[in-house]
Structure formats: structure tokens, C-alpha cells
Chain A
């Protein structure tokens, strides 16, 4: 019977060249990670994880998904084949957001309650360094060449540039109030930093550590205090940036050449973090207040569908088939 089913299924897989990705979404209030199939957008599995899962990242080899479980002071490691938590790593207090270097060797974690960035060896979980930054660190992005890391401190309103060899903070850059996310451009030349309360995105030169441009957003009919930039992601060709505008329930689309905002895409409520499909054609946003994930077509910039996940969805990553 099983073989018969397999025979039925296999030819169909062959006829659909765009194989499905797997989407992982952290649900902060449910203590779970929802796993979705990108083709059917159906829930494949709901994985129980530690308490208060937020930041989520996938290793370069796509074999593991790492989840910050803040209230457990740990990282849960999910095997992307078995879809189970296979091990845990101690991170120090309240890990919120993380990034993994491009070699897959190190994990950089923001310890929100304690004002540290913790650097871990990915395989052994050994703590390589604890770097003191500002109050309530959150944003975390490793440069494409792995040489520097950009972190943000929400309550200090700063971006910090950390040297990954010396673990020294090279620069503290004052940005607008409550910076949430830092993201390197693919060419490593700039770091984009969103300021939730300030309502802006600062673009920092990664060599001089100077702010070269500050983006602000105006949406007709939306109160200015609801303009709360959060997650940042770039299209695969680097020509567009997507910035989730939290309480405005929209994603801003920015032309990275002109820094003009060209579109606002309506999503579920309070989109936070985003991910792209493996082929770069779809954008997914985790929407905290409507407990769903919005699927956006990158070419048309249209929201196609919102699918329910768990309670208070926070972060999202994609594993290619």
C-alpha cells in the first residue's frame, strides 16, 4: 500500500519542478515552531520547543534550525530532516535574536535581559566570548565576509560593530529610538538598522561606521506613531529591501539604488520578521497579532495569502528542498 502511494506521489513530484521549501515559524506565546510546506501552505508539524521562542536561523548547510528560547536561556537545535529538537545549547540569559556565520562555525546571540552578545561555537556549544553592548540587545547580523557583526541595543538606541577576531566593539553608532534589527546588504558595504519608536531605518557604511542615509516612512491614513520599522530583508538580486512596519500592518518596499519607498504591501497585523523562499520569488512575513504568515509574491509585490500558524508568530526561516 505504501509503495503504491509512493508510486502515485513520485511522478507528480517529478512533474512539478519547483519543489516545496519548508518554512519554520517561531510562535512566542505557544512555545512551538510551526513547520509549513511552501507549496500547500499546510502545517507539516508543530514542534514543541523551549519557553518563549523568538529568534530563528538556519545553518548554511540547511541541516539545523536554531531557535532562541529566551525564558530557558537556551538555543534549541532542530534537525531539519526529523523536525525534532535534537540538542540544546546554553546561551546565557534571555537569548532573543541570533545569526550564524557563513561558514556555519559560530553563532552570535543577543542576550536581551543582560546586555551581552554571546558568541558560541556551533558544534560544541562552547562560549567563545561574551561581549558587553548596550541595554536590551536585539539585532544581530554577520557580515558576508564573517569579519564583523552588527548588533543593536534597543534601550541604548545604538548599533554596535563587533570585530569577530578580537571580539572588540569597534564602533557604537547612535541611531533613532529602539533599534530592532540590523541587516548587512549582500555586498557587505552597508548595514541597515531599523528603529521601532524612531520610525526610521538608518543605513550605515560598514567601513566608516557613519550613517549615510536615514529612511522614514509616511503612509496615508496611518498615524505616525504606528510606523514602527522592524524586520529587514533584501531581495536576492539586492535591488529591493523589504522593511516590516510592525503596527502599520505593512511591508515597505524600498529601491536600494534610490532609497525611495516604492510600495507598501498590506499584511496581517504587526509583521515582524521575514524570509524569502529559496528561489527568491516569495516573501513570508510572521504577523504577531493575527497569528498568521503572509505570503507575498516578490515579482508583483502582492500579498497572495495569509495562513494561520501559532500564537504570536515572531521569526521565520526557509529551508530549500
Chain B
């Protein structure tokens, strides 16, 4: 008995000794690392040594092309040619900083196509190469064409560019998740604020591009939903103004009052000028002294430079340091898309599209995006639920949903197409989520 106890003790001691030796070894290697550390001026370079080789690898494709975009109407806004991708790059870095700690590695495959290239061909090639995680900075027609490729059936496509309502309604797709708020969400966000202000009588001024009309339709819908009255509606039919008002301002100064003259009593001018042709010219030039809201003036956006709440300042600073310019909305949506993938990979420890899709649509999923609440996707149209910023040209004004607009499940579902009004019909397998 004694002997046995003795043996057991020895055994235990031996085990303890081994553990101690292992610990000592670990400490030693740590010390070696420490000694090596100071020789390296840049502590970042030691990062690679910190972790073991990754056990999970995720490659995210960023697919875009050099579409023609109108230059910003205001000379204050710079022409930016790398919208979106800069946000994706920063999110990739963040994913990797997290991944490094738990054996995960992310890569961003940048497919930035020229003006003449066909993104559908590129998508085919990438999918054939085994890629399934796609951040799509594509216009609506290309987005649908890519989504409808037979080989893209089981891909996860994150739309970071479009606001078209039709893509969340009749033209929704099983494999397309929408990160930016659509027109209806933006219009509802703005309308809730206008109603909170009791600015109920609107004059709607609509530009001539199809997107202008789509935005105007969303504003009409919002007016009906929240009890505003569009007292008059006017098309903007003048020739598009030049970006330089020094040659055109006299004309504009008389055009804008004419455009807004002779309408019934109203509280606010709502402008639908998605094409950025005249919206800014309305400010301070309306016939009656009224605020301007819509695509210009007071706007509803996912991101704004003047936004600082919920650690937004950290993101703004991080972005400006890396990109050398301010963060725009598409940078934010692209950042968020890559973070959504990162979040799903982190939490599941997997990088296959099927697992990630199931997790993203489960009620466990939430992604943080500086909006003060976890965000997730509506299972009926795969649109990201999110608070929407209400911003003036130089400052944040509010964040919608507004106080008092209630919803039994998610207050953010008071913005855009709620389940009962959704015209999106996804296949059964797409809506496994319980939300």
C-alpha cells in the first residue's frame, strides 16, 4: 500500500516535472522571442511569428469594374476612384488580426476590372477556381447576371453597391445578401425624421434618370406609410447644370426659385436626384425658405464623415490613415461585407459557403458596424437590418428609426420592406433562419 502510494506520488511528480519542463521550455522560447523582439524596430513584423500555421483559410473575392460615374456636383467632394475596395482592404486586415489569434487566415482577391471588361466572365472564372465568397461592387444588371450563373448557385454574394428596391423585391436572389440600405429604407428613415419634426407637407422634385424615379417612388411610399402629404410633385426638366457654378450660377439662381414656385403650402422640399445633377443647387435657392431633404440636403445614409458615435471615430481615423481620404458609404458597406464574412468564419471556425450561409441566417449571427447594435439579415429578402444615419451636409442630424416608430421584432424593420409586404420569394432552403 505504502509502496503503491509512493509510486503514485512519483508518477505524479514525474508528470508535474514534465509539465514544469514544458512550461520552462515555453518560457525559454518566449524569452528568445523577447530577446529577438527589441532588435526589430517595428513590432508589427513579429506578428507573423505569434501564431501557428492557420487551420482555416478564407479567400474573399472583391469583384468590381470601372463603371462610368458622374463626377460629384459639389467641388468640395473629390472624385474618388477606389471607393469600396479601400474599405474591404481594411476589413481584411481586421479579420486577419483576429484570425491570427485563432489560427485563421483571410485573403482578398481583388478583381478590379477595366471599363470594357465583363464581370460575368470574370465571375465564371473565379467560381471555376473554387471561390464562393464574393463581395460584389457591381451595378444591378451585372449583379443579377453574376448571381444567375448556374455555377454561382451556392456562392455567397454580398452586394455592397446597389440601393435598388427591385433587387430586394421581385428580383431578389437566394445567393445575394444586400449590405447597403435600399431606397425604401432610406426614404423611410428620412420620413420618420421629417414626421418627428412634424414636417408633413412635402413638395417632391424629381430628376430625369431612372434612379431618380426609383428614389421618388420610395419617397411616395414613405409618405403614405407615415402619413405625410406630397402637396405637389415637379419634374426637373432643365438642362443639367455644370459642375462649376461660377459660369452657371446666375441661371441656377433663377431656375431653382422657378422650380419651387407656385406650389401649395409645404414644410420641406424633397429632392430625388440620384444622378447628382441639380440637388445641391436647391439649397438656399427655393422660392419659399424651406429645408431640402432627400438625395441632397438632409440625406439618409449608411455612413457619413460627420458620424462619430459608437466608436465610429475609430473607424474614420483608421480609414483615413490607411486610405488617405475620408471614408465614403461604399467603403463602409464593403468594409462591413468583409467583416460579416470574418465574423461568420470566426464564430464557426469554417470557411465553406454552406456553413457560413447557415450561420449568417441563424439567430446567433450579429455583426457590429458602429451603429450601437448588432446587425443581421432579414431572412425574407437578405437585406441587412441597420439603423440609418440622417445627415446634413456637414453634421449628423439624427439616426433612424426614430423614437415611437415601433415594431414587434426589430425596430429597424420599420425601415424598408417588412415581411408582410415583401415581394421577394426565396426558395425554402434559403430561409432556414428563424428570425
- Where the two chains meet, the residues of A that have a C-beta atom closer than 8 Å to any C-beta of B are 94, 112-113, 115-116, 129-130, 132-136, 153-158, 160, 163, 165-169, 172, 174, 177-178, 197-198, 223, 225, 228, 247
Contact = CB atoms under 8 A, between A and B. Distances in A.
8 contacts: A113-B318, A155-B98, A157-B98, A169-B101, A172-B102, A174-B346, A197-B373, A247-B372
A155 B34 contact: no
Given A94-B314, A132-B46, 20 more contacts: A94-B317, A130-B43, A132-B43, A132-B50, A132-B97, A135-B94, A154-B311, A154-B368, A156-B101, A157-B98, A166-B30, A166-B31, A167-B34, A169-B101, A174-B347, A178-B311, A197-B366, A198-B366, A223-B411, A225-B411
Contacts of B372: 197, 225, 228, 247
Range of interface residues on chain B?
A: 20 to 34
Interface of B: 27, 30-31, 33-34, 37, 43-44, 46-47, 50, 94, 97-98, 101-102, 311, 314, 317-318, 321, 346-347, 366-368, 372-374, 411
Contacts of B347: 174
Contacts of A178: 311, 368
A136 B31 contact: no
A134 B34 CA distance: 20
B348 to A, nearest CB: 11
Contact of B97 (A113, A134, A168): A134
A198 B367 CA distance: 9
> Which 9 pairs of residues, A with B, have the shortest CB-CB distance?
A225-B373, A166-B30, A172-B101, A156-B98, A130-B43, A135-B94, A197-B368, A197-B374, A168-B30
Contacts of B373: 197, 225
A169 B26 CA distance: 12
Contacts of B346: 157, 174
Contacts of A174: 102, 346-347
Contact of B314 (A113, A172, A247): A113
A190 B135 CA distance: 41
A136 B97 CA distance: 10
Nearest to A224: B373
A110 to B, nearest CB: 12
B341 to A, nearest CB: 14
A113 B34 contact: no
A113 to B, nearest CB: 6
Contacts of B314: 94, 112-113, 136
A154 B346 CA distance: 14
A167 B31 CA distance: 9
A168 B177 CA distance: 40
B71 to A, nearest CB: 32
A134 B101 CA distance: 8
A155 B366 CA distance: 12
**Residue of B30, B46, B373 contacting most chain A CB atoms (<10 Å):** B373
Contacts of A115: 97
Contacts, number: 80
A210 B373 CA distance: 26
Given A134-B101, A135-B94, A135-B97, A177 B43 contact: no
A223 B411 CA distance: 9
A165 B33 CA distance: 13
Contacts of A168: 30, 33
A21 B317 CA distance: 37
A225 B318 contact: no
A288 to B, nearest CB: 10
B97 A156 contact: yes
B34 A166 contact: yes
Contacts of A113: 314, 317-318, 321
A158 B97 contact: no
Contact of B374 (A163, A169, A177, A223): A177
Contacts of B30: 163, 166-168
A130 B321 CA distance: 20
A132 B47 contact: yes
Contacts of B374: 177, 197-198, 225
Given A130-B43, A166-B30, A197-B374, A158 B101 contact: yes
B368 A155 contact: yes
Contacts of B94: 135, 155-156
A133 B50 CA distance: 10
Nearest to B100: A132
Contacts of A153: 98
A133 B372 CA distance: 23
A152 to B, nearest CB: 12
Nearest to A247: B372
Contacts of A158: 98, 101
Contacts of A165: 27
Nearest to B37: A129
A95 to B, nearest CB: 13
A243 B260 CA distance: 54
A68 B88 CA distance: 30
A178 B370 CA distance: 10
Contacts of B101: 133-134, 156, 158, 160, 169, 172
**Residue of A133, A169, A225 contacting most chain B CB atoms (<10 Å):** A225
A227 to B, nearest CB: 10
A177 B102 contact: no
Contacts of A134: 97-98, 101
A129 B44 CA distance: 12
Contact of B27 (A112, A166, A169, A198): A166
A166 B46 CA distance: 15
Nearest to A166: B30
Contacts of A169: 50, 101
A225 B407 CA distance: 13
**Residue of A156, A169, A178 contacting most chain B CB atoms (<10 Å):** A156
A272 to B, nearest CB: 12
Contacts of B97: 115, 132, 134-135, 156
Contacts of B47: 132
B44 A132 contact: yes
Contacts of A133: 101
Contacts of B44: 132
Contacts of A129: 34, 37
Nearest to B50: A132
Contacts of B37: 129
A223 B367 CA distance: 18
Nearest to A289: B309
B366 A177 contact: yes
A155 B99 CA distance: 12
A157 B366 CA distance: 12
A38 to B, nearest CB: 31
B323 to A, nearest CB: 14
